[in-house]
Structure 1
């Protein structure tokens, strides 16, 4: 492994005393990890330096052709003052999958994890203490070659920044309202839906704005070909509890292979629940609702862990789920996964990685 050069900031900052004011993605820790790539050198000059602006030419390729990838994960402080990461190997593995799709050179996943640990050790004071808080971690890659031409870049920059984040649900784990998009599409098989890249989020903004304008917080996407099979929510995977079966759309090349999703499936199977990863149509969901079989709907993702869905709208039909209350399975999964993440529940899966 390469040695990591370290340059400490001369202007250290601190967390606010009131951690309830942190919000999400608005404050950043003192340092960042940076590593560069050229065809001649490969990945080189790994360093931890003060968090600061980066200088790029206006012709830098990432601005024009969208050759970027990113990840999102969290670090948690336990009651014993240990710091734990949740399944970070999966994040770096998925980053390489996204990189392959966008013709970005592969990273050494083991080295990335060690670099992340070192970065958190240096900025450990930014890992909040309050229950429900965390250190959000954003690794990302941008194409940095300064030229105009619709080709893959020959130069890249890999950066990890961290952001102390407050309680996601400031008012409690309340259900959200979801709007099913039947006009625009997000992705198709063979496209970039399975990659974590900025373009997948840019394409969803129009529908997200429309949803917000109609008092809905998220958009549920249907498949881009037949427009009838459920795929995922804008920033989450989606689950349905129909009768005694928990159903989530299968990984088919057009939706993200969510790490929280994967963890929920493994947890449910471990507990002996009936779990299916399969195609599910919006019509099946409507029929289950009409028959009284649709018990719960919830989204899963790194930021919120679980977002229970209280209202689901498709065309002119508004479906109220579980009297607009969080369901038993949703609550159990949220409590169990967050308990494992914070070291309050025994990790029988080997999911957590100790920073120190």
Structure 2
């Protein structure tokens, strides 16, 4: 698995001994112990605050001003960012390899309470400003030796685009790796069998590493991969959809692609087939360095788009060809 910045127990306040913090710092420390994360951002009114070593870390990584807060006779490092400005700071931390827990403030009958609502990782980062999909992938492997069925699922949390498929028979693992390479996920959740297959994980790392980026491998609760629980989750999320028919959800005015079943292709709308989605592989001497990377392509000419996610969803629908193609 990919290493996180620091997996050892943290000396929160530099004493080397547990500190009986009180007030807001004590609440922060208590919440941090509830979750497996490298950094905690806790909302306090109009700001998200960091304390102790977390404050020192974000101060260094994000160039934030670090101050001091007194509590129980001790002084603790403190840093913060406005609530409306949290997103870019989260993105910067995640891109540096940190898992960031976010504790929001909620109004209750007798005041307010804070609880951890999410842990942000490369595959769960909401980024509506980015042009490229950031896929969270999972890979599960069944019984049956080298030809065992391999299940794959890919999710872009920003657009809600979700796709799943399964490959089996000879060279199943090789074809599964090819699918992973095409989607280039930023984070992979290997299933119980896959995570114990060192050879498969190494081949997957090598395949994804060919993109030049870094993919995080995260161990998730093994019970979440149980077939019964997975089918229940799919029905809750998609209504009538089941593990045998998982639809690819899209938005906008252009019709959605057909469902993926095994090696069945996503169909492409007739208008989409005419789009030139990528610029030339070699440099274009007529293009200025200040122009967008896709200037000169039909994709660029189709802006503005119908919705925030539309431009992000167009490219994978047109640049992921498969052997079986249906058209409308």
What TM-score bracket applies, with the shorter chain setting the length?
under 0.3
Q: Which has the higher strand share?
A: 1
Q: TM-score, normalised by structure 2?
A: 0.24
Q: Which has the higher helix share?
A: 2
